[in-house]
């Protein structure tokens, strides 16, 4: 047998020992490098934290938007749509616009100045696209929901607490007599805010008599500021 073949087991053992020694040895960073890395991580973590003022405005925004959404969804789930009265809406129109403007400013502050989306998680190309979209879309959505803050929560809760059997008149804008889709037999109302500007599932006998500009009477439970609609009639 050739001599180099006899030496192969010995060479293999030497090579294995060298590899094991290399795996066990790990260079430790110097004290200066460790301090720099620690300071960098601390600075990054500190920049990701929201201040107490920023947390307050973010929570205020979430509370305001969620309260409107929950109440609007709840009125639909309970099967009795809520409508603020036309007089209440007209008297609080400028207040609603002020809330909408405040919501727009608050949305710009949270998503542009505070940079809420940039502080959440790691950056990626897909995430960067969502950050850009949220910066333009979120303030508009917040403004729309804040527009309803003076128009929905107060009169709705008041109708629940001190309401009674009542009725109120609204003006018909136009009628959709088609009986398909989620909102069949729709009556669109004139001079009413979004989400409160239509009523679905109106009886065909009532739809046949309605024309634009005609008054329609909603009957249900509520106050002079608004009511939960149970039935519709032509006065």
d(CA 94, CA 151): 11
For range 158-177, the mean pLDDT: 90
Please enumerate in sequence order all residues whose Cβ is within 8 A of that of 204, keeping only pairs 6 or more positions apart, or say none. 177, 179, 185
Query: CB 78: neighbour CB atoms within 10 A?
Result: 10
- Exposed (0-12), middle (13-18) or buried (19+): which is 222, by Cβ within 10 Å? buried
Q: pTM score, two decimals?
A: 0.66
- Number of folded domains in the chain? 2
Residue 132 sits in the same domain as residue 188? no
Residue 219's DSSP bridge partners are: 167, 231
pLDDT in tens, 182-191: 777 889 999 9
Higher pLDDT, 172 or 1: 172
Beta strands in 52-132 (DSSP E): 82-84
In a domain, 219, yes or no: yes
Residue 142 sits in the same domain as residue 73? yes
In a domain, 197, yes or no: yes
Residue 62 sits in the same domain as residue 107? yes
Chain centroid offset of residue 193 CA: 19
pLDDT in tens, 107-162: 888 777 666 555 555 554 555 666 677 778 888 888 888 898 888 888 998 998 99
Residue 62 sits in the same domain as residue 143? yes
Write down the pLDDT at residue 226: 93
Residue 137 sits in the same domain as residue 171? no
């Amino acid at each position: 047998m050739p001599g180099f073949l006899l030496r192969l087991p010995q060479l293999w053992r030497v090579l294995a020992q060298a590899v094991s020694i290399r795996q066990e040895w790990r260079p430790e960073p110097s004290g200066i490098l460790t301090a720099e890395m620690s300071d960098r991580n601390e600075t990054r973590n500190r920049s990701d934290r929201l201040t107490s003022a920023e947390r307050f405005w973010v929570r205020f925004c979430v509370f305001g938007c969620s309260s409107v959404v929950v109440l609007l969804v709840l009125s639909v789930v309970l099967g009795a749509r809520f409508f603020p009265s036309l007089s209440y809406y007209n008297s609080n129109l400028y207040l609603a616009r002020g809330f909408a403007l405040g919501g727009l400013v608050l949305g710009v502050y949270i998503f542009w100045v505070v940079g809420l989306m940039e502080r959440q998680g790691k950056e990626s190309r897909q995430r960067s696209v969502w950050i850009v979209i949220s910066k333009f879309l979120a303030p508009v959505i917040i403004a729309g929901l804040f527009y309803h803050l003076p128009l929905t929560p107060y009169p709705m809760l008041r109708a629940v607490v001190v309401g009674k059997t009542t009725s109120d008149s609204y003006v018909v804008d136009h009628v959709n007599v088609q009986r398909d889709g989620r909102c069949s037999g729709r009556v669109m109302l004139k001079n009413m805010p979004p989400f409160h500007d239509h009523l679905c599932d109106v009886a065909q006998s009532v739809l046949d008599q309605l024309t634009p500009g005609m008054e329609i009477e909603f009957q249900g439970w509520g106050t002079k500021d608004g009511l939960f609609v149970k039935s519709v009639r032509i006065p």
